[in-house]
Amino acid sequence: MKKIIFFLMAILCACHPLFAQQNTGTSRADLPNIFITGSSPLHFISPEPIQYVDIASHAVVGDLPIKNLLRLKVIPDSVPSFQNPGDYLGVVTVVGESFIAQYNLHYINNPTFPYLSQVNILPEHTKPLDVPGMTLTSNEMQVYAMRIMGQSAGRPKRKTSDFGIKVQLNNVYTAGDYIFLDVSYFNSTNLSYQIDEQRFKIEDKKIAKATNVQSTEISPVWQLNHATSFKKRYRNVYVLKKVTFPGSKVLNIELTEKQLSGRLLTLQLKYGDILKADIF
């Protein structure tokens, strides 16, 4: 009998780590409790751009007025269905670029209750999230870009001018899977430059015929400034995903002006300029 008991205890001890490993999730009871009222919206402020939201209640709708702000509202027609103060509505899930946060949402209809009108998503509310294809968050890109802007432009690596406008490549940096381009524009005319588009294209270095042009446009994943015009000087940092292209092609940085003036500037970067980039 003692041998049987000892054998059973040994099995339980051996299985205990397995049961412990299965309990790696988050219980609903451990989530923060947030209250919402039917008379005013509830705002969640995220430290990063919000990528995904799930609201586990048909009584609540949400939208993203801006990239890092989630707004929730109770549907008026659903209010009569709530029977008790603090009725449970479900879990609200907010996913940023590098985290996931979840909250228990309750309905409250008591004007004296100290409910929140806005919720800051704090680090203690989040869990890290590994998003495929993303090695830097927007916050990290901004930190790097501000470091670049804090440095002197120095001697340009590439430059060109036309129509009284000069454009120069101050420097190229790499971090993770991204390329940071530090670009400056100078306007020597008395006419301010009204920015229409800033475009990045990989094109043939030499074009034999217009019909043979091969162009691949690359959209920046992030940029520091979003100016619409400049009078004398304009400096910005653009972030591109790492790209490779042969020596027969160039990366054209193209700035176009709104009509009617329509001044166009194009700065050509060789692949060697990217290979010589500084590393953060």
> What local confidence, expressed as pLDDT, does residue 96 receive?
93
Q: Is 145 exposed, middle or buried (0-12, 13-18, 19+ CB in 10 A)?
A: buried
Span of 42-46, 49-53, 205-209 with lowest mean pLDDT? 205-209
What CATH fold (topology level) applies to the domain 139-279? Answer: Immunoglobulin-like (2.60.40)
The CA distance from 88 to 80, in Å, is 14
Whether a cis peptide bond, with omega within 30° of 0, leads into 251 is: no
pLDDT given for residue 85 in this prediction: 67
Pairwise pLDDT comparison (2 vs 263), residue with the higher score: 263
Q: How confident is the model at residue 207 (pLDDT cuts 50, 70, 90)?
A: low
Q: Are strands 193-204 and 215-218 parallel, antiparallel or unpaired?
A: antiparallel
In this chain, the answer to whether the domains covering 27-132 and 139-279 adopt an identical fold is yes
**Confidence band of 241 (pLDDT split at 50, 70, 90):** very high
Under DSSP, is residue 68 helix (H, G, I), strand (E, B) or coil? coil
The residue that leads in pLDDT, 115 or 143, is 143
Task: Give this prediction's pTM.
Answer: 0.70
**If pLDDT is split at 50, 70 and 90, which confidence band does 247 have?**
confident
Report d(CA 213, CA 222) in Å as an integer: 27
HSE-CB of 45 using CA atoms within 13 angstroms = 6
**136 or 91, higher pLDDT:** 91
In this model, does residue 109 exceed pLDDT 60?
A: yes
CB atoms within 10 A of CB 89: 23
Residue 261: the pLDDT is 73
The rounded distance, in Å, linking the Cα atoms of 124 and 183 is 38
d(CA 61, CA 103): 15
DSSP string, 75-133: -GGGGGG--STTEEEEEEEEE-SSEEEEEEEEE---TTS---SEEE--GGGEEE---TT
The structural domains of the chain, with segments of one domain joined by +, span 27-132, 139-279
In which element (H, E) is residue 147 found?
helix 138-149
CATH 2.60.120 for domain 27-132, yes or no, is no
d(CA 118, CA 105): 13
Instruction: State yes or no: pLDDT of 25 exceeds 90.
Output: no
Distance CA 1, CA 137 (A): 61
Q: In angstroms, what is the C-alpha Rg of the chain?
A: 28
